[in-house]
Amino acid sequence: MTAAEREMLRDGAGELGVVLDEAALGRFDLFASELLRWNAKVNLTAIRSTHEIIVKHFLDSLTLSRILNQGSSLLDIGSGGGFPAIPLKIARPDLAVVSVDSVQKKILFQRHAGRLLGLERFTAVHGRAEGLPAVIAERFDCVVARAVSDLATLARLGLPMLAEGDESLR
């Protein structure tokens, strides 16, 4: 990431109410590099430039940060190359994040990225959303997805994974 791109990420995150310190910016830089490196061999995303990764993946993912309470648990269904799961985890280390995708190579990348970035309380699970209640016993404060299916289907898949208590989410 160039200095201008780092500044764009820091400033864009700031506009979203997210403060990125130098350590977080370094993790985003490393994540973008690894994403581009892996993407040259394995199709993780159609986005192929660092500038677009910052805008269309990183900053888009960080828009959720404001609505997540401190220490929340997050389930990301169909996260592909790790969006929004990994950017949220980088910016918000307090979150417990589980990322699910049905494509094994994308989960392998996410696991690699999680280890490389030193992300604690981040788990990448290979599987389909329909089978989640059978393999993941925990329930989450928030369930998110990007471009997975229509809203009715997403609600049917995600609602059983939500923790009890906040009826405003149902």
**Residue segments in the chain with a per-residue pLDDT below the cut of 50:** 167-170
Interatomic CA distance for residues 40 and 42, integer angstroms: 6
In a domain, 169, yes or no: no
Q: What is the pLDDT of residue 58?
A: 97
Q: What is the pLDDT of residue 134?
A: 63
Q: What is the pLDDT of residue 165?
A: 67
DSSP letter string, 70-108: TT-EEEEET-TTTTTHHHHHHH-TTSEEEEEES-HHHHH
Whole-model pTM: value is 0.90
| Amino acid code (one letter) for 70 | Q
Q: What is the pLDDT of residue 133?
A: 66
In a domain, 120, yes or no: yes
In a domain, 170, yes or no: no
In a domain, 159, yes or no: yes
In a domain, 157, yes or no: yes
Residue recorded with tokens 């417990």: 96
Helix (H) and strand (E) counts for the chain? 8, 4
Express each pLDDT in 110-121 by its tens digit: 999 999 999 999
In a domain, 168, yes or no: no
Q: What is the pLDDT of residue 169?
A: 43
Q: What is the pLDDT of residue 71?
A: 95
Q: What is the pLDDT of residue 47?
A: 84
How many domains are there within the chain?
Answer: 1
Q: In CATH, what number is assigned to the domain containing residue 20? A: 3.40.50.150
Neighbour-count burial for 126-155, b at 16+ CB within 10 Å, e otherwise: bbebeebeeebeeebbbbbbeebeeeeebe
Beta bridge partner(s), residue 125: 100
Expressed as residue numbers, the domain containing 93 is 3-163
Q: What is the pLDDT of residue 130?
A: 78
Q: What is the pLDDT of residue 138?
A: 73
